[in-house]
Amino acid sequence: MSRLSTIDPTISVANKTLDRQHLTVLNLSELTLNLGCGDRKENFKKFNKNLYEFHLRMLDHFYTEEEILASHGFPNIAEHIAEHNQYIERLSYLFFDASNGVIDHARLKYCLSDWLSRHLLESDMQYGELLRRN
């Protein structure tokens, strides 16, 4: 795994706290995804620990992001929060299943890689310009 040490300027949202959190969750998602696709018996405990950590970091990140967006008057905040809530629900089901020994690799990849990348590149970029101006 190649750990990212800095956020790519093309995906920066012009807020150091949010950029740092994005970097953390991207790295943690890659690590967790790699563990989830490996030998389940060997990595199961480590995978569950990382998935749990990822879940907590996402909750913290979404809370922080929502607070910052509210303080800057982001006009699409309700839709953004709804998207966060839908993701947390999906992630919670994934964590529940994994804690019971069921790992759906396609859903894991979607939640930890595809959705996260799309959310960052599309949804979060919507508020980046607002934060740059303020």
Please indicate, yes or no, if residue 2 is contained in any of the structural domains. no
Please indicate, yes or no, if residue 128 is contained in any of the structural domains. yes
Q: Take residue 56 and report the two structure tokens written for it.
A: 């907590």
Q: How far apart are CA 43 and CA 63, in angstroms?
A: 30
Please indicate, yes or no, if residue 4 is contained in any of the structural domains. no
Please indicate, yes or no, if residue 30 is contained in any of the structural domains. yes
The pLDDT value given to residue 99? 83
Please indicate, yes or no, if residue 3 is contained in any of the structural domains. no
The domain spanning residue 68 has which CATH number?
A: 1.20.120.50
The pLDDT value given to residue 42? 65
- What pTM value is reported for the model? 0.88
* Type of residue found at 71: S
Please indicate, yes or no, if residue 97 is contained in any of the structural domains. yes
Q: Take residue 92 and report the two structure tokens written for it.
A: 């919670």
Please indicate, yes or no, if residue 22 is contained in any of the structural domains. yes
- Residue-wise burial string across 1-37, b where 16 or more C-beta atoms lie within 10 A, e elsewhere: eeeeeebeeebbbebeebbebbbbbbbbbbbbbebbe
Cα separations (Å) of 73 from 13, 16, 89, 110? 15, 18, 26, 30
Instruction: Specify the residue for token string 């690590």.
Output: 31
The pLDDT value given to residue 17? 95
Please indicate, yes or no, if residue 52 is contained in any of the structural domains. yes
Q: Write out the chain's pLDDT in tens, 134 residues.
A: 455 556 778 888 999 999 999 999 988 988 888 887 766 566 778 888 888 999 999 999 999 999 999 999 999 999 999 999 999 999 999 888 888 888 888 888 888 888 888 888 889 998 988 898 87
Q: What is the count of structural domains for the chain? A: 1
- Residue 105, domain extent: 9-133
